[in-house]
């Protein structure tokens, strides 16, 4: 019997060995955007999970666009150099795994505390030079106690777009297979898309068509320089979950226009743009959004959102609701989630690096041939 979750899938010009994606998860452990030893340990562990695609956390295209002081970046030569050992390690030891990076700009939600410090806005009480200036579609703060962002003018729009392009160029030099632009969760590109945050009266605001103009321009600029044999997609919030906010109908049309520009996949999430959101949270609660976009637009979709059980993920893929399932906290709890999913579903198991092969001698299944680097 075919286990659909463990069949290959082509995303753009990239073939994933299975349909499981390690979703981007911020680690808040970088220093001025540069990866630290933690990142090597964390992503090395996730690369051995058995997932077909490992996507690095939100990696910010501007220093001012970081969510927190500990967020990863790809806006400097130092950032690029610090991330290279992480990519090189995965390539050397887990060559079957495809690598993605999520490029992001936090917009008005930048200059925030790390989650374990409350996640609220930074203040001068934290340090004399804080908070830093934030930017958005309009000068509308996230909440009453948050700093008011600067509305991006023409020069600022060009700067942010170029920052995304420069990060794409760095991603190409590092050798990533896939790029996901972050257009969800209330961050900068989402702030342009939503009427809750975009109050502009120029060519980038007003109607939905005008509100999506800047995100589409950013995507088009990135697609122009990202090789066609590699995959480029975007994470979108399907709905704001707020009356008067962005709807799934809006997002279906946005996805349709992105596809026309060469978008290879939509990673379908929701919310994050307003503290007034009312989300009906339940296992797989984003799946219907992913299914609708996939059906109506004819584009590959990833489903996210409390997909924790192998049988649940298998049903999503087998039913055609999405092309991949993306998992975050499930992998934090069980870094071998995909391996254990294969065992539970009776599928052939993904490769392990050679130093870990001994584990297979006590488990009731036959692993695939190990293709990872051997120790000298």
The span from the first CA to the last CA of the chain, in angstroms, equals 39
- The number of beta carbons lying within 10 Å of the beta carbon of residue 274 is 18
Question: What percentage of residues in the chain have a pLDDT greater than 90?
Answer: 91
The per-residue pLDDT of the chain, averaged, comes to 94
Instruction: Please give the radius of gyration of the chain, using alpha carbons only, rounded to the nearest integer.
Output: 20
User: Contact, 8 vs 15, CB < 8 A?
Assistant: yes
The pLDDT value given to residue 286: 97
pTM of the model: 0.95
Per-residue pLDDT tens digits for 126-178: 988 899 999 999 999 999 999 999 999 999 999 999 999 999 999 999 999 99
Q: State residue 324's pLDDT score.
A: 98
What average pLDDT does the segment 115-122 reach?
A: 96
Is the pLDDT reported for residue 369 higher than 90? no
Catalytic residues: 187
- Predicted local confidence at residue 351, as pLDDT: 86
Task: Specify the DSSP element, H or E, that contains 179.
Answer: strand 178-183
Closest C-alpha among 114, 103, 140 to residue 274: 140
pLDDT of 256 reads 98
145 exposure class (CB count in 10 Å sphere: 0-12, 13-18, 19+): exposed
Q: How far apart are CA 327 and CA 214, in angstroms?
A: 29
At the fourth CATH level, the homologous superfamily of domain 4-362 is Aldolase class I (3.20.20.70)
* pLDDT tens digits, 313-331: 999 999 999 999 999 999 9
pLDDT band at 364 (very low <50, low <70, confident <90, very high): low
Helices 287-297, 248-260: inter-axial angle, 10-degree rounding:
50
What is the Cα–Cα distance from 75 to 171, expressed in whole angstroms? 11
pLDDT of residue 375: 37
Mean pLDDT of the 245-249 span? 98
DSSP sequence for 216-254: HHHHHHHHHHS-TTSEEEEEEES--SSTTS--HHHHHHH
Q: Taking 60 as the threshold, does the pLDDT of residue 352 lie above it?
A: yes
Contact between residue 319 and residue 354 where contact means Cβ atoms under 8 Å apart: no
267-288 pLDDT, tens digit each:
999 999 999 999 989 999 999 9
CA distances from 135 to 150, 153, 191 (A): 5, 10, 10
pLDDT of residue 362: 61
């Amino acid at each position: 019997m075919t286990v659909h979750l463990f069949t290959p899938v082509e995303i753009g010009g990239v073939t994933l060995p299975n349909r499981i994606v390690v979703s981007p998860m911020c680690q808040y452990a970088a220093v001025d955007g540069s990866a630290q030893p933690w990142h090597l340990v964390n992503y090395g562990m996730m690369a051995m999970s058995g997932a077909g695609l490992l996507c690095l956390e939100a990696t910010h295209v501007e220093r001012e666009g970081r969510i927190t002081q500990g967020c990863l970046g790809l806006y400097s030569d130092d950032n690029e150099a610090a991330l290279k050992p992480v990519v090189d390690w995965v390539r050397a030891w887990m060559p079957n795994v495809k690598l993605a990076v999520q490029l992001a700009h936090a917009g008005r939600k930048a200059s925030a505390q790390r989650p374990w410090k409350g996640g609220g806005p930074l203040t001068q009480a934290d340090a004399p030079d804080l908070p830093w200036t934030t930017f958005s579609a309009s000068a509308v703060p996230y909440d009453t106690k948050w700093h008011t962002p600067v509305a991006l003018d023409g020069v600022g729009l060009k700067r942010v777009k170029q920052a995304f392009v420069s990060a794409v160029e760095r991603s190409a030099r590092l050798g990533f297979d896939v790029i996901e632009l972050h257009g969800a969760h209330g961050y900068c590109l989402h702030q342009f898309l939503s009427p809750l945050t975009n109050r502009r009266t120029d060519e980038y605001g007003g109607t939905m068509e005008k509100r999506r103009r800047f995100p589409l321009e950013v995507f088009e600029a990135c697609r122009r320089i990202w090789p066609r044999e590699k995959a480029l997609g975007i994470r979108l919030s399907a709905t704001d979950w707020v009356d008067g906010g962005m709807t799934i109908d809006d997002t279906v049309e946005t996805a349709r226009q992105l596809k026309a520009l060469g978008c290879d996949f939509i990673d379908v999430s929701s919310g994050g743009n307003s503290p007034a959101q009312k989300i009906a949270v339940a296992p797989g609660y984003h799946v219907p959004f992913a299914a609708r976009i996939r059906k109506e637009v004819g584009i590959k979709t990833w489903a996210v959102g409390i997909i924790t059980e192998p049988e649940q993920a298998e049903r999503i893929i087998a039913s055609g609701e999405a092309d991949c399932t993306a998992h975050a906290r499930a992998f934090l709890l069980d870094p071998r989630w995909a391996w254990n999913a294969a065992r539970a579903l009776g599928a052939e198991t993904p490769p392990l690096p050679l130093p870990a092969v001994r584990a297979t001698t006590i488990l009731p299944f036959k692993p695939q041939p190990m293709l990872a680097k051997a120790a000298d």
